[in-house]
């Protein structure tokens, strides 16, 4: 894995053991994703849930994001993210937290200076270590909505397997979906009829 563009273009990203249920985003999907969100990146505050290797946040920092907060529950992932941040020189613009995205996330608002995040990326694992299919998107979205982590005009990017079904919280709406083989990337924002949506225009 490498950084595609920005100040760290071409630099290596260290991965984690293949024994962990971590599947880094492919270069093809990452390139397309960052082409879509490029105008949002300069100065953005980003939250990366199920951060894994930190691949997406590291690319965002290289391309001008102000700060990234990365959350994962695996100690090996946390250690590896710190290694990548130090290797790329981004440690002063990132916060790495060990946490379970399926538990309340209210504590994360403070790391955005209580303003919410401009970009929230979620790439939950599709399968566990026993190759059992997982369905983590719906509870993760619910926790993000409950904690009001999205900034006005902010977006959520959710990567799922094409077969995963999930309900979207009333506070949010999907406005774009991109398909890459077996992967879907959903783009969400505050629903226009929600309390958040009222000030997100």
Regions of the chain where pLDDT drops below 50:
196-201
pLDDT tens, residue by residue, 127-153? 655 566 678 899 999 999 999 999 999
Closest CA to 45 of 200, 129, 152, 136: 152
Residue 186's region, left for phi above 0, alpha for psi from -120 to 50, else beta, is beta
CATH for 28-198 is 3.40.50.150
And the tokens for 135?
């369905």
- Domain borders along the chain are 28-198
Closest CA to 20 of 80, 71, 68: 80
Check residue 33 and give its pLDDT: 96
Buried b (16+ CB within 10 A) or exposed e, 141-173: bbbbbeebbbbeebbbbbbbbeebebebbebbb
Using CA atoms of 116, 200, 32, 84 in order, give the dihedral in degrees to the nearest 10. -10
Please list, in sequence order, all residues whose beta carbon lies within 8 angstroms of the beta carbon of residue 88, skipping any fewer than 6 positions away: 3, 8, 11, 13, 58, 61, 62
Give this prediction's pTM.
Answer: 0.91
User: Cα(2)–Cα(90) distance, rounded to whole angstroms?
Assistant: 15
Check residue 20 and give its pLDDT: 64
Check residue 24 and give its pLDDT: 73
Check residue 193 and give its pLDDT: 72
Phi and psi torsions of 64, nearest 5°: 115, 5
């Amino acid at each position: 894995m490498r950084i595609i563009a920005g100040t760290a273009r071409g630099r290596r990203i260290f991965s984690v053991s293949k024994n962990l249920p971590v599947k880094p985003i492919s270069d093809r999907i990452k390139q397309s994703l960052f082409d879509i969100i490029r105008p949002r990146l300069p100065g953005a505050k980003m939250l990366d849930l199920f951060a894994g290797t930190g691949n997406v946040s590291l690319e965002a920092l290289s391309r001008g994001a102000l700060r990234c907060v990365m959350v994962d529950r695996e100690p090996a992932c946390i250690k590896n993210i710190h290694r990548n941040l130090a290797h790329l020189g981004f440690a002063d613009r990132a916060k790495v937290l060990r946490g379970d995205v399926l538990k309340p996330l209210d504590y994360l608002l403070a790391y955005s200076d209580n303003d919410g995040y401009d970009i929230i990326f979620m790439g939950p694992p599709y399968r566990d270590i026993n190759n059992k299919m997982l369905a983590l998107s719906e509870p993760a979205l619910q926790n993000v909505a409950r904690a009001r982590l999205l900034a006005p005009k902010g977006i959520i990017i959710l990567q799922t397997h094409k077969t995963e079904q999930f309900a979207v919280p009333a506070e949010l709406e999907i406005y774009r979906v991109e398909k890459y083989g077996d992967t879907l990337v959903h783009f969400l924002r505050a629903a226009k009829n929600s309390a958040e949506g009222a000030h997100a225009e």
